[in-house]
């Protein structure tokens, strides 16, 4: 696990900082994350401020850093996160490291119920535009994970 976190951190550093001097890497205040609940087939987005923690079902997500690389290079968003599963007994650390928005499978979180990935790093909190499949009002259904906007896939 430590080797994977080290390699993903090294890769994120190379991707974000290794470009020409003309590109800027900006530390942002908010990580916008996408999520999928595999048991209910619900997807959604949530904003997590850097330095704060939020709950998604049985998961606790802590965002430690969120960096955005701007043009003229290929834009990139990367977030350093810790994800812990709460349950009976001691909490279980299931992910710690950098996630890249352009390559979510490179540093994927492995969990039986939830998938979580980085969408973007931003300074502006906001809700995603409701899709045609969203419930009326664009709010999360009663059985959705706490604090998350949700859209059914069906």
Q: What is the pLDDT of residue 148?
A: 52
Residue with tokens 């048991």: 39
Q: Does 73 reside within a domain?
A: yes
Q: What is the pLDDT of residue 53?
A: 96
Rounded CA gap, 69 and 86, in Å?
33
**Strand pairing of 149-152 and 42-49?**
antiparallel
Q: Does 143 reside within a domain?
A: no
> Helix (H, G, I), strand (E, B), or coil: what is residue 102?
coil
Tokens of 96: 């710690």
Dihedral over Cα of 42, 134, 34, 59: its sign:
negative
Which range of residues forms the domain containing residue 70?
A: 2-16+26-124
> Helix (H, G, I), strand (E, B), or coil: what is residue 113?
coil
Q: What is the pLDDT of residue 146?
A: 53
Q: What is the pLDDT of residue 105?
A: 83
Q: Does 148 reside within a domain?
A: no
Give the distance from CA 147 to its chain's centroid. Answer: 14
Q: What is the pLDDT of residue 24?
A: 86
Number of domains in the chain: 1
Per DSSP, the residues of 53-91 read EEEETTEEEEEEEEEEEPTTSPPEEEEEEEEEE--SSS-
pLDDT in tens, the chain (154 residues): 444 444 445 445 555 545 444 568 899 999 999 999 999 999 999 999 999 999 999 999 999 999 999 877 788 999 999 999 998 889 999 999 999 999 888 878 889 999 999 999 999 877 543 332 333 333 344 445 554 555 444 4
pTM of the full structure: 0.68
Rounded CA gap, 68 and 62, in Å?
18
Q: Does 21 reside within a domain?
A: no
Q: Does 152 reside within a domain?
A: no
Tokens of 58: 């049985």
Q: Does 137 reside within a domain?
A: no
Q: What is the pLDDT of residue 145?
A: 52
Q: Does 150 reside within a domain?
A: no
Q: Does 59 reside within a domain?
A: yes
Q: What is the pLDDT of residue 72?
A: 77
Q: What is the pLDDT of residue 129?
A: 39
């Amino acid at each position: 696990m430590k080797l994977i976190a080290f390699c993903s951190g090294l890769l994120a550093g190379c991707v974000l900082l290794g470009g020409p001097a003309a590109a800027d890497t900006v530390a942002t205040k908010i990580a916008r994350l996408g999520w999928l609940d595999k048991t209910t087939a619900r997807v959604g987005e949530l904003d997590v401020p850097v330095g704060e923690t939020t709950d998604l079902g049985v998961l606790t997500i802590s965002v430690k850093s969120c960096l955005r690389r701007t043009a003229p290079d290929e834009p990139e968003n990367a977030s350093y996160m810790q994800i812990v599963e709460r349950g009976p007994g001691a909490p279980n650390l299931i992910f710690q490291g950098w996630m890249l928005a352009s390559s979510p499978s490179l540093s994927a979180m492995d969990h039986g119920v939830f998938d979580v990935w980085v969408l973007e790093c931003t300074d502006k909190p906001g809700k995603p535009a409701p899709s045609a499949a969203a419930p009326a009002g664009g709010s999360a259904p009663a059985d959705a994970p706490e604090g998350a906007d949700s859209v059914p896939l069906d």
